[in-house]
């Protein structure tokens, strides 16, 4: 293999390691979700057990409208899902990778 061919292979390897715009956007939105204390509290609660909006609001001493707003944001990012039970929506975590990151970060913070 000539030098110029080696250089082209290296450049291709480097290009493959670059983040595309969609990946960058998803990563930044995930960290945005995890940067808000209310969303962290909601995700942490949902990691323990599925809850309705009212149960989340009651457990975390938040307004129902605040919880609904934050759940909408988390749903858009596919971090939570819901299922209907009669007229009640039951929310649960939808991304184990992000929940693992959250758990590890909480464990890290508790050990300092």
The pair of three-digit structure tokens given for residue 102, joined into one six-digit string = 């959250």
Residue bearing the bigger pLDDT, 15 or 49: 49
| Average of per-residue pLDDT across 66-80 | 96
Ramachandran sector of residue 61 (left: φ over 0; alpha: ψ -120 to 50; beta: rest): left
pTM greater than 0.75: yes
Residue pair 95/47 in contact (Cβ under 8 Å)? The answer is no
One CATH from 1.10.10.10, 3.30.70.580, 3.90.1170.50, 1.10.490.10 for 3-110: 1.10.10.10
Share of the chain above pLDDT 90, in %: 83
DSSP letters for 16-74? HHSPPHHHHHHHHHHHHHTT-HHHHHHHHHHHHS-EEHHHHHHHHT--HHHHHHHHHHH
pLDDT attached to residue 10:
57
- pLDDT band with cut points at 50, 70 and 90 for residue 85: very high
Q: Distance (Å, rounded) from C-alpha 65 to C-alpha 71?
A: 10
- pLDDT band with cut points at 50, 70 and 90 for residue 35: very high
């Amino acid at each position: 293999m000539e030098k110029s061919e080696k250089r082209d292979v290296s450049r291709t390897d480097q290009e493959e390691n670059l983040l595309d715009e969609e990946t960058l956007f998803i990563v930044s939105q995930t960290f945005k979700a995890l940067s808000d204390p209310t969303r962290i509290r909601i995700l942490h609660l949902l990691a323990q057990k599925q809850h309705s909006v009212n149960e989340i609001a009651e457990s975390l001493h938040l307004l129902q409208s605040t919880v609904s707003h934050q759940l909408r944001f988390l749903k858009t990012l596919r971090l939570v899902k819901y299922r209907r039970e009669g007229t009640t929506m039951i929310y649960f975590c939808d991304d184990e990778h992000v929940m693992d990151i959250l758990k590890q970060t909480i464990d890290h913070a508790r050990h300092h």
